[in-house]
Chains A and B, each alone.
Chain A
Amino acid sequence: MNIQHLNPVIDFFLREGVPFDTVVLLLMLPIIATFIALLRQVVGVKAFGVYTPLIVTFAFLATNGVKYGIAIFVTILLVGMLSRLLLKSLRLLYLPRVAIMLTIVAIAILFMLTIGGGLRRTGLASVSIFPILIMITLVEKFITVQIEKGDRVAFMLAAETLIISILGFYIASWPLLINFIITYPWIVILTVPLNLLIGKWTGLRITEYVRFREIIKNM
């Protein structure tokens, strides 16, 4: 990173002892959140709300390389889904059921990390615990959607969340953007008027043009 371009404000943060990565990540957060809001309201990619793709994006940033993050994400959801199928016939109450599912997922992840270590994929084995924990909490979200809207929708939303998170990861680790932010940190404030605009947007979403094409054709 080119230190000469540092904005005095950023410089102040750093001198007060806030780590550089933390500053960048915190300033990146509104940009990623705005990006997700834009995808939702204007494009029509739903995902699991704003929070989930945002948190997964940062979990990806905290793992050593996005591929391990994706591997963990997919494993967690697949194992979660399978265990739900297994537990369905037992007809358990909700919380104990989720607790058992989390147990199965935790053990599965532990195995995965061990196998990763065994295959000399040290990057996988050394992924820190917090991104993993964050992603494990996704299981409950996923199950809720599965109950509310059915398997297919839950699966679609999970895929959309994954895609948004990967895009978010690349945006947040884009050197040009990082440079830009530390040079002009006030740019982050611009997300507010942009969100005001998105928040009042009443036009059709891009996906809705596809969804309603038959009506337009028949008008």
Chain B
Amino acid sequence: MRQTDRMFCRILSVFDFFRKSRKILGMNSRNLEFIRPFNRKRAKRIADDKLLCKRILKKNNISVPGLIAKICSYQDLDNFDWQKLPASFVLKPNRGFGGEGIIVVYGKKKGRDDAWIKADRSLVTIDDLKNHVRNIIDGSFSLSGIHDTAFFEERLQLLKLFKPYAYKGIPDIRIIVFNKIPVMAMLRLPTRESSGKANLQQGAVGVGIDMATGTTTSAVVGKSKLIEYVPGTRLLLSGLKLPYWKDMLRLAVDAQSVSGLGFLGADIAIDKEKGPVILELNARPGLSIQIANLSGLKERLEKIRSLKIKTRERGVRVGMDLFGGEIEEELEEISGKKVIGTVEKVKLIGKEGKEIEVEARIDTGAGISAIDKNLAISLGYREAVRIWEDFHLDQVLSEEEIRELSKNETWKELEKHPDIVGVAKTFSSHGATYRAEISIPIIIDKMNMTSKMSIANRDGLKYPLLIGRRDLKNFLIDTSK
């Protein structure tokens, strides 16, 4: 009997495996269902010709790295004025692929006007450059070795944020756009193995990105190896929030409308001064982006295939909403309020800067926050608690007793102690209490404030702290959290 059960389970898991695998975009499906019908020949030509692509994008006011000069033939090469090149630039083959044949120059060699310094600090002379340009013109770096054009482009400057993450080169962000909607994105980090190139096939790291927030999630290196840290360091790859996120999504969607590529992989880099720029467009985006995101592309593409999107903003919005893991951040953006759950970690700062983090019950049914006496003691309010206990306020009182306390102006006595900042009478179904309030700085979800809390006996309750309405003005409460 047990054996049949086990067998049944195995059959189920195989079934499950195939059901899940249908969410993944494979090579066959990419070529047949997405590239063939949505990327027309003319559009593909734009993607394969970097100079043409640059010109078209620029004409449509889409930010691209500036073109310095181009060399189309040997004759151009002979007439080329090398002195007009700036101190730093990038030399590229027009139809190159996979980052081959690119020379990055960082600055002029001091005291020489015919030599520059490369990324690896080695020298490159005009003769070296000439030889390289000749190779490019002869098609050494282009698909199927056809005649090619060499061009000089301004060198992008690395954003400070990326410095610890990138080895030598500049990281770029690949965004897949389909039907005017950004579908999936990945940050590509150059590594030592990829010799500074942001190309996954050459060993760069691919990091998945949450579409709603632009925050990195999981990461992959090589064909399908998942990693957590930047290779060779203890630097976490997840949780990095990319700047200009929404701008980059807009840029990618714009690039799609301009290029006419229905299924597009836009490569975007961030320059220190210019901000995000389109590096190149890809008519046959790779599939590894799925591994970096641990998520299937096909499922996403099918979800949006039949949507009618009119404007760029709408497309960006839909992409963020549908494929982002956390929409709450947006809600926070709209309302200006943070979203917290019914139980939230709260940091309390006691006397002499002592910090204690506890889980607190978020209770909109209570007006005033309440703190357990033991917690108050450990924060340094021993005396306040003692006074409160001396007056037997830790017990539930009857209404007469409360009236008595009020009549005797007990609050005046209590407030003599500097820690006690107020007195509150509360009436509840359990009876009435007369509470002493102390003032404690607290931090809820990165928001600093000072809370007036009443000391209470929360023995036997799950949470030593209760946050009431008075301290919740700047929050929205999500009961499903």
Given that A91-B131, A212-B21, A212-B291 are contacting pairs, would A202 and B141 also be in contact in the complex, using a CB cutoff of 8 Å? Answer: no
A84 at the interface (CB under 8 A from B): no
A149 neighbours in B (Cβ, 8 Å): 98, 201
Stretch in A68-76, A180-188, A203-211 with 4+ CB within 8 Å of B = A203-211
CA of A203 to CA of B31, assembled, Å: 11
B132-140, B156-164, B272-280, B458-466: which lies at the interface = B132-140
The CA-CA distance from A107 to B9 in the complex, in Å, is 62
- Nearest-neighbour CB distance to chain A for B97, whole angstroms, equals 7
Considering only residues 21-48 of chain B, those with a C-beta below 8 Å from chain A are 21, 23-24, 26-29, 32-33
The size of the chain A interface, using a CB distance under 8 A, is: 29
Question: Does B223 sit within 8 A of A, measured CB to CB?
Answer: yes
Give chain A residues whose Cβ lies under 8 Å from the Cβ of B28.
Answer: 41, 201-205
Interface flag for A216 (CB, 8 Å): yes
Which residues between 73 and 109 of chain A lie within 8 Å of chain B, taking CB atoms?
91, 93-95
Which of B28, B138, B141, B295 has the most chain A CB atoms inside 10 A of its CB? B28
CB-based contact A150/B202 at 8 Å: yes
What is the bound-complex CA distance between A215 and B145, given in angstroms? Answer: 37
Count chain B residues whose beta carbon lies closer than 8 angstroms to a beta carbon of A.
Answer: 36
* Cβ–Cβ < 8 Å partners of B220 in chain A: 214
**CB pair B291 A215 closer than 8 Å:** yes
* Residues on B with beta carbons closer than 8 Å to the beta carbon of A2: none
Q: Are B17 and A216 within 8 A (Cβ)?
A: yes
B24 touches A212 (CB 8 A): yes
Instruction: Assess the B138–A95 pair: CB atoms within 8 A.
Output: yes
Determine the distance from Cα of A61 to Cα of B383 in the docked complex, in whole angstroms.
98
Q: Is the CB of B27 within 8 A of A215?
A: no
Verify if B144 is at the interface (C-beta below 8 Å from A): yes
User: With A93-B135, A219-B20 in contact, do A205 and B26 touch (Cβ < 8 Å)?
Assistant: yes
Find the B residue at minimum CB distance from A97: B140
Residues of B within 8 A of A216 (CB): 17, 20-21, 24
**Chain A nearest Cβ from B207, distance in angstroms:** 14
Does A153 sit at the interface, judged by CB under 8 A? yes
B296 touching A219, Cβ below 8 Å: yes
A residues neighboring B (CB under 8 Å):
41, 44, 91, 93-95, 144, 147-150, 153, 200-205, 208-216, 218-219
| A-B residue pairs, 10 tightest by C-beta | A204-B26, A202-B29, A218-B294, A208-B26, A219-B20, A94-B140, A216-B20, A93-B138, A212-B24, A202-B28
15 more CB-based (< 8 A) A-B contacts, given A202-B33, A211-B224, A214-B220: A41-B28, A44-B27, A93-B138, A94-B140, A95-B138, A148-B143, A150-B202, A208-B26, A208-B27, A212-B224, A212-B291, A216-B24, A219-B294, A219-B295, A219-B296
Query: B interface vs A, CB < 8 Å?
Result: 17, 20-21, 23-24, 26-29, 32-33, 97-98, 100, 131, 134-135, 138-141, 143-145, 201-202, 218, 220, 223-224, 226, 290-291, 294-296
**Can you report 21 residue pairs joining A to B where beta carbons are below 8 Å apart?**
A91-B131, A93-B140, A94-B135, A148-B98, A149-B201, A202-B28, A202-B33, A204-B28, A208-B26, A211-B223, A211-B224, A212-B21, A212-B291, A213-B224, A214-B226, A215-B290, A215-B291, A215-B296, A218-B218, A218-B294, A219-B294
